[in-house]
Structure 1
Amino acid sequence: MMIRKLYNIFTLIIGAIAVTYTSFWLGEQSYSWLPPQAAAESRLIDDLFSFLVTVGAFIFLGVTATLFYSLLFHRAAQYDYSDGPHIEGNIALEVVWTAIPIFLVFWIANYSYQVYEQMGIQGPTALVHLHNPMGMESAYAATEEAIAEPEEQIDVIAKQWAWVFHYPDKNVTSTELHLPSDRRVKLALHSEDVLHGFYIPAFRLKQDIIPNHKIDFEFTPIREGKYSLTDSQYSGTYFATMQANVVVESPEEYHKWLTKVAAHRPGTAYNQAAAEYAQSITQPVKTGWPTVAPAPAPLVNYPG
């Protein structure tokens, strides 16, 4: 009996170690499941995601391992149809399995809220308070420059269905968002019609853009390359076409691009939504539901 008890304890310890190690390993692997970290803020989201994967894996593997152990070593013998032993409630056990999930939920909620607060994401309360609440950092960057003033300020105009970016310093407009790497950037987000969502997966940044309100949003790009900006909100028929390239380049290349584009005369940029709508209204056979006409194709210095 004692040997059996020691065997069960040994098996439990080995299983707990294996489940814990595997959970932490999966949490580390989860960093590779997401796009490369292209903004300082992405580290916050990736750490949170890794934490959730670790906790979720521990719970899943723990429950699954317990089920398999019970099936393999504690199943009834063949043709044994007798009832199992009658077990009364265990107050201590019930308190433990109630307290642990409650503690875990509050832990995850607190950690998630801290990340949400540090990112400076403004939700529906932006309709009432168009400033960061006291003590909230705006899109916290995990660098020493996090508290520095933004070095670049860019206006972002969202409309059905196009993005337009205005650089006040050079009075330049573009349908492609250019950003300097390792420099704090402040975006002034505007919507000309309905609710839109500013979302760059590689930056782990998503901010709702509310009509008739300007929302300031700050972050720090840290990885040069080309990324994708998309509208995360359903803004109408052609919302899937509302995408733009995001180019992160060195500060020198960024300012060279601004100077070069400033010499361009504004021209009409190609807009997929406007092109598809124009094509649909010229068809002899009308298909689909009536839709809102897209805004005119943007007039910009740089069409991308």
Structure 2
Amino acid sequence: MTSTSPSPRQGLPIRRILVISLATLVNLVLSIWMAQWSVDWLPVAASTAAPYVDGLFSLEVGIGCFIFVGCVGFILWSVLFSRADKYDESDGLPIEGNTRLEIAWTVIPFVVVMALAFYSIHVNEQLASLGPKTKYDLAVDQQPDAVAAADNLKDIGPIRVISRQWSWEFVYPDGVRSSELHLPVSQRANFQLSSEDVLHSFYVPAFRLKQDIIPGSVISYSITPTREGTYRLRDAMFSGAYFSSNQTHVIVESGEAYDQWLKKAASQPLVSGLSQATELYQQRLAKGDRGWATVPPAAPPMVNDPGHPDVLHDA
């Protein structure tokens, strides 16, 4: 009498399908919640560009969370319910030749990467329309009128942004100079970014925009602030020993307050502007100029309004 081995069941059991479906649904809900929550990790949004950058960041966090939780969940399930017996030292069953599985783990990452790529392109196009930028080589484009006319859609400006090792200087159309950047809310400001020595980077986290500043060139750049407050401008490009102190305030205020500030600043004489690196360098010299060699900071800029560095900022 011959015995016949039972034929393997085809497909997944209903119970396992329900468990996988429920786990996927829970993972999806958790990922959506994490994506929405991730926006709170960022500084306050204070420009027209911020919602687009935040949306892209939120999408990437959601996708990353779904993949991470799914992989960790599968590992925990295997450890808890599919682990080998205590003294089982045999190898696991191979899964070579599973065409459907190979197609799945090829197609799914491809779709995810392409979706992120297309959405990123869309965000970049939106940012380009909100804050177009043009680079001018000073050795070729020596006419200031050509640089000033780079953005015909500006509401105010152009405001010259001069970066140095290690200080910021802002020159407004009427000649007012300041160590802190003042902007009217909901008005598109055009900047002319330039460097007097090395590479610097104009970065305001609350605006979600960063622009490198290249020596020997002028970069026309536009930003529209949408929220009144005091924000922090940081030099995001390593430019020497004191680059981390190359920070200042960006003060976004109402149009009336901005006009009043311009009139008040115009009536004030020029004084030494903000330069925290100068003070740090003097402390170094007082201690004998020991340690790694460093570049002496440039002299503080002469400005009408040196600002108030001790004021707290929102972001």
TM-score (norm 2): 0.84
14, 17, 38: which one aligns with 1:9: 17
195, 198, 208: which one aligns with 2:199: 195
For the 8 Å contact 2:135–2:220, the answer to whether it is kept is: no
Tell me the SS of whatever aligns to 2:13: helix
- Could you tell which deviates more after superposition, 269-278 or 65-74? 269-278
Match of 1:76 in 2: 84
39, 43, 48: which one aligns with 1:40: 48
For the 8 Å contact 1:122–1:208, the answer to whether it is kept is: no
Q: Structure 1: which amino acid aligns with 2:88?
A: D
Structure 1 residue 99 displacement after superposition: 1.9
Structure 1 residue 282 displacement after superposition: 4.2
Structure 1 residue 65 displacement after superposition: 1.1
Unpaired segments ≥5 residues, structure 1: 129-146
How far, CA to CA, are the matches of 2:124 and 2:240 in structure 1?
Answer: 28
Superposition pairs of residues 1-304 of structure 1, within 5 angstroms: 5-120=13-128, 126=135, 149-153=153-157, 154-168=159-173, 170-283=174-287, 285-304=288-307
Structure 1 residue 20 displacement after superposition: 0.6
Q: Structure 2: which amino acid aligns with 1:65?
A: G
Unpaired segments ≥5 residues, structure 2: 1-8, 138-150, 308-315
Sequence identity, in percent? 43
How far, CA to CA, are the matches of 1:87 and 1:159 in structure 2?
Answer: 61
How far, CA to CA, are the matches of 1:288 and 1:83 in structure 2?
Answer: 58
Match of 1:134 in 2: none
- Once the two structures are superposed, residues 72-128 of structure 1 have per-residue CA deviations (whole angstroms, 9 ceiling, x without a partner) of 2222233334444454411221022012112222222232233234323899x9588
Match of 1:136 in 2: none
How far, CA to CA, are the matches of 2:94 and 2:166 in structure 1?
Answer: 66
For the 8 Å contact 2:178–2:303, the answer to whether it is kept is: yes
Q: Structure 2: which amino acid aligns with 1:212?
A: G
- Could you tell which deviates more after superposition, 111-120 or 34-43? 111-120
Aligned-pair RMSD on alpha carbons?
A: 2.3
How far, CA to CA, are the matches of 1:206 and 1:218 in structure 2?
Answer: 11
Runs of 4 or more above 6 Å deviation: none
Cα pair distance change 1:167/1:12, threshold 3 Å: same
- Once the two structures are superposed, residues 217-250 of structure 1 have per-residue CA deviations (whole angstroms, 9 ceiling, x without a partner) of 1111011110100100001111111000010001
For the 8 Å contact 2:184–2:252, the answer to whether it is kept is: yes
Q: Structure 1: which amino acid aligns with 2:69?
A: L
For the 8 Å contact 2:200–2:236, the answer to whether it is kept is: yes
Structure showing greater radius of gyration is 2
Q: Structure 2: which amino acid aligns with 1:240?
A: S
